[in-house]
């Protein structure tokens, strides 16, 4: 399956009907007030009010004056433009599985990111994206015009996996770039042994609106492998020889379930959204149903 084949024109049309569900209600401020935490947005007519001495003559509605002899001024409001930061894990483990009918984790994760970017862009929100692996992080701004989605998809199509999972540099980079709370969506398989939890907790405490999309393959949840075999760690290259029995597989499933529950508990404690999916979940269902149920979109 080619990367981003999960995104098509029919799905894009459906995505236009969705909105990102920001935890902090999107505020509307009278034009002229500083917006503070967010930037840009669009200015729209809100109402009329009676003219008062000192009002800007440019806001007088001369058509109303000519028809009714009432001197009124137009009031405008600015819809706040939020910053949406999308972070995609491109570590070597995200290339799994490579020989399956379902997409790999990187293909599924990249499609999730593209879908969320399009939802944000369709609402004229400001979108930035970064991919991360092995302690490095590559940033590129997407903008606030939905036509930019095609450039984003091209970038994702050319993306290569490699290196270890290291989420902290991307999270720290988000803080350095924004300096103020924004929405962060982190797409990853969570195979990170670094300081990511400490960084997540710090950003959540500072008011960042954080969501984690945990993407795994069905084989990782319920491995079918049995018998003697040699397994290679996708990120470190370490090889181990072992014999897998049904009892071993059952113990692994318990450990994997506990791993997910532990992350879910951590996220609940720090007010971070946690959504998990397998790559065999129909992609449109995940976006249109599960993300809605999880509160990330509406």
Question: Residue 125 corresponds to which tokens in the numbers above?
Answer: 């929100």
Question: Among candidates 270, 156, 101, 138, which has minimal Cα distance to 202?
Answer: 270
Quote the pLDDT of residue 91.
95
Count Cβ neighbours within 10 Å for each residue of 259-272 and write b for 16 or more, e otherwise.
Answer: eeeebbeebeebeb
In CATH, the architecture of 9-23+82-293 is 3-Layer(aba) Sandwich (3.40)
Return the H-helix or E-strand segment holding 200. helix 196-205
Nearest of 263, 148, 149, 252 to residue 213 by alpha carbon: 263
Cα 252 to Cα 249: distance, rounded to the nearest angstrom: 5
One digit per residue, the tens of pLDDT, for the chain of length 298 reads 444 578 888 999 999 999 999 986 444 333 433 334 444 445 555 567 787 776 777 778 878 777 887 887 776 554 567 899 999 999 999 999 877 678 999 999 999 999 999 999 999 899 999 999 988 899 988 888 888 898 899 989 889 999 999 899 999 999 999 888 999 999 999 998 778 999 999 999 999 999 999 999 999 999 988 999 998 888 888 999 999 999 999 999 999 999 999 999 999 999 999 999 999 999 999 999 999 999 999 9
Q: Give residue limits of the domains in the chain.
A: 9-23+82-293, 29-79
Give residue 26's pLDDT.
41
Strand ranges, E, within 170-238: 183-188, 209-216, 227-232
- H or E stretch including 109? helix 105-122
Model pLDDT, residue 69: 77
Distance of CA 283 to the CA centre of its chain: 15
Structure tokens that stand for 194 in this block: 């670094």
The answer to whether the CB of 218 falls within 8 A of the CB of 250 is no
Please tell me the predicted confidence (pLDDT) of residue 24: 60
Phi, psi of 193 (to 5 degrees): -105, 15
- Name every residue whose Cβ is closer than 8 Å to that of residue 152 and which is 6 or more positions away in sequence: 114, 117, 129, 142
pLDDT at res. 253:
95
74-106 confidence digits (pLDDT tens): 765 545 678 999 999 999 999 998 776 789 999
Q: Are 118 and 146 in contact (CB under 8 A)?
A: yes
pLDDT at 51: 75
């Amino acid at each position: 399956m080619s990367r981003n084949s999960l995104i098509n024109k029919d799905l894009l049309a459906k995505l236009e009907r969705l909105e990102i569900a920001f935890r902090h209600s999107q505020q509307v401020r009278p034009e002229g007030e500083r917006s503070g935490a967010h930037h840009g947005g669009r200015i729209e007519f809100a109402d009329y009010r009676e003219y008062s001495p000192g009002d800007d003559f440019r806001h007088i509605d001369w058509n109303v004056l000519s028809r009714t002899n009432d001197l009124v001024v137009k009031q405008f409001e600015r819809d706040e433009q939020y910053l949406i930061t999308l972070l995609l894990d491109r570590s070597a483990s995200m290339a799994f599985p490579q020989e399956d009918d379902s997409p790999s984790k990187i293909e599924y994760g990249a499609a999730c990111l593209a879908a969320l970017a399009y939802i944000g862009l369709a609402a004229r929100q400001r979108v930035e994206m970064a991919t991360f692996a092995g302690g490095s992080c590559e940033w590129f701004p997407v903008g606030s015009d939905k036509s930019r989605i095609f450039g984003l998809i091209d970038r994702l199509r050319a993306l290569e996996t490699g290196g270890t999972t290291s989420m902290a540099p991307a999270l720290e980079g988000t803080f350095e770039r924004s300096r103020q709370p924004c929405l962060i969506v982190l797409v990853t398989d969570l195979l990170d042994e670094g300081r990511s939890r400490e960084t997540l907790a710090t950003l959540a405490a500072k008011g960042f609106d954080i969501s984690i999309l945990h993407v795994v393959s069905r084989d990782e949840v319920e491995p079918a492998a049995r018998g003697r075999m040699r397994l290679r760690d996708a990120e470190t290259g370490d090889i181990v020889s072992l014999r897998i029995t049904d009892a071993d597989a059952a113990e692994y499933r318990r450990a994997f379930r506990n791993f997910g529950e532990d992350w879910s508990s951590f996220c609940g404690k720090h007010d971070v959204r946690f959504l998990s999916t397998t790559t065999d979940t129909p992609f449109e269902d995940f976006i249109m149903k599960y993300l809605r149920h999880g509160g990330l979109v509406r």
